[in-house]
Amino acid sequence: MTGTAGAVVVVGGGVIGSSIAYHLLRDGHSGPVTVVERDATYARASSFLAMGGIRQQFSSTVNIRLAQYGTRFYAEFDRAMRVPGHAPRADFRQRGYLFLVDEAASDRFAARLERQRRLGARVERLEVDDIRAMAPDLRLDDIRFGVFGPDDGYGEPREVLAGFRAAAAAAGARYVAAEVVDLTRRTGRVAGVVLDDGERMAADVVVNAAGPFARRLAAMAGLDLPVEPVRQHLFRCALPARLPYRLPMIVDPSGVHWRHDDTGERLGPDRLVVACTKLDEPPGENFDCDHARWESDFRPPLQARMPGLTPIEMIEGWAGLYAMTPDHNPLLGEHPAAPGLVLANGYSGHGLMIAPAVGKVLSELIRLGRTETVDVGAFAPDRFERGEPVYDEAMV
């Protein structure tokens, strides 16, 4: 696409849309930037309901580069994103991401570790004694080794979202509470949006940052976008006592993964946030939490991995949506079949961790017509029509 200095309308004011608006204005975009968000409470926004993991442990160059930018950005987030009237507390805790590797996965993870190192990710192999020193309450008799990213960790998703939105607004972005019901065209280009109150907003570029609802918006431009909303569960639980150490983000061979829930000072037992992707979850806009999954899928692997911590009590559960693509990687850039419509969709659970980099590269694409920070050409929106999916085995 060619760069523009004109009006930009971003559809979706979550962490992705707000990051794009923030980076556009911070980078010197001279035209107006309007963010249209249909739910000002963000009650169902994916970034509002996320786990908050931030890691660079991927196995493709583009994902590692995007994640490394995000890691550096989040390390300075609370200071750099402070604006009059808002001081974010994303509290990025760089306690690391620890993948526990059993015999069945040992060859695959050993090869992944070497590939990640070659691609520039900072990762380490931890032997069992090293893991035990880091997390003495883990049962490790079935574990061969661990793969640890010391720069990785987790932050508070709602604070990240609030921080990006406040900083974008302070930089000059206008937020409008409305729903987009149609797109307008002019000489074959997407040229604006129609809101549910009938207002028409002209734009030189419309950005689809609608998260799990991206397909619905793209259809207004005649595109059948390969993005499906898929329900994901998270649970908050309490340990029987407070641990004398802090856990990294731990990814069990079962797929269950957990982190401490410890923002601020809290007395009493430690809490964990626990997640597990259900690979056969049917697509659909389903926000109902199936609390029975705590006992069937979540608690047993967690309790087996930390058998000395009994009982582990479930406090609450909730469900949010992943915006899933066939290869679990995003669609980034202008779609050739819909000039003027820039896609920023389909993060498949990794939106928050790469939101800073997505904002940066989309700012470059819109302003300059090219990317300079990270080459995201592999994530072209039409790659599935061309039979060029991106494979990255390090998806959780």
Domains and CATH numbers, the chain: 8-86+157-226+326-379 (3.50.50.60), 97-149+229-324 (3.30.9.10)
Mean pLDDT across 2-7: 81
Mean pLDDT across 212-231: 96
Amino acid sitting at position 218: A
Q: pLDDT, tens digit, for every residue of 279-295?
A: 899 999 999 999 999 99
Judged on CB neighbours under 10 Å (0-12, 13-18, 19+), 195 is middle
C-beta separation of 96 from 148 below 8 A: yes
Q: pLDDT, tens digit, for every residue of 223-265?
A: 999 999 999 999 999 999 999 999 999 999 999 999 999 865 6
Mean pLDDT across 16-21: 98
pLDDT reported for residue 2: 74
Q: pLDDT, tens digit, for every residue of 100-143?
A: 999 999 999 999 999 999 988 999 999 999 999 999 999 999 99
Q: pLDDT, tens digit, for every residue of 254-273?
A: 999 999 998 656 678 899 99
- Cα gap 396→256, rounded to integer Å: 9
Q: pLDDT, tens digit, for every residue of 294-328?
A: 999 999 999 999 999 999 999 999 999 999 999 99
Query: Which residues does residue 147 pair with via DSSP β-bridges, in sequence order?
Result: 99, 125
Instruction: Round the CA-based radius of gyration of the chain to a whole number and report it.
Output: 21
- Residue whose entry in the numeric block shows the structure tokens 């582990």: 312
Element (H, E) at 361: helix 351-368
Q: pLDDT, tens digit, for every residue of 42-58?
A: 999 998 999 999 999 99
C-beta separation of 212 from 229 below 8 A: yes
pLDDT over 90 (residue 393) = no
pLDDT reported for residue 3: 76
Binning pLDDT at 50, 70 and 90, where does residue 395 land? low
Which of the 8 DSSP states describes residue 28? T
Full-model pTM: 0.96
pLDDT reported for residue 150: 96
Mean pLDDT across 51-68: 94
DSSP notation for 17-73: HHHHHHHHHHTT--S-EEEEES-TT-TT-TTTS---EE----SSHHHHHHHHHHHHH
pLDDT reported for residue 396: 62
pLDDT over 90 (residue 365) = yes
pLDDT reported for residue 265: 60
SS3 329: coil
Residue % of the chain over a pLDDT of 90: 92
Which of the 8 DSSP states describes residue 295? I
202, two tokens:
């002209």
Q: pLDDT, tens digit, for every residue of 161-190?
A: 999 999 999 999 999 999 999 999 999 899
pLDDT over 70 (residue 69) = yes
312 phi/psi in degrees, rounded to 5? -100, 120
Say whether the peptide bond before residue 311 is cis (omega within 30 degrees of 0).
Answer: yes
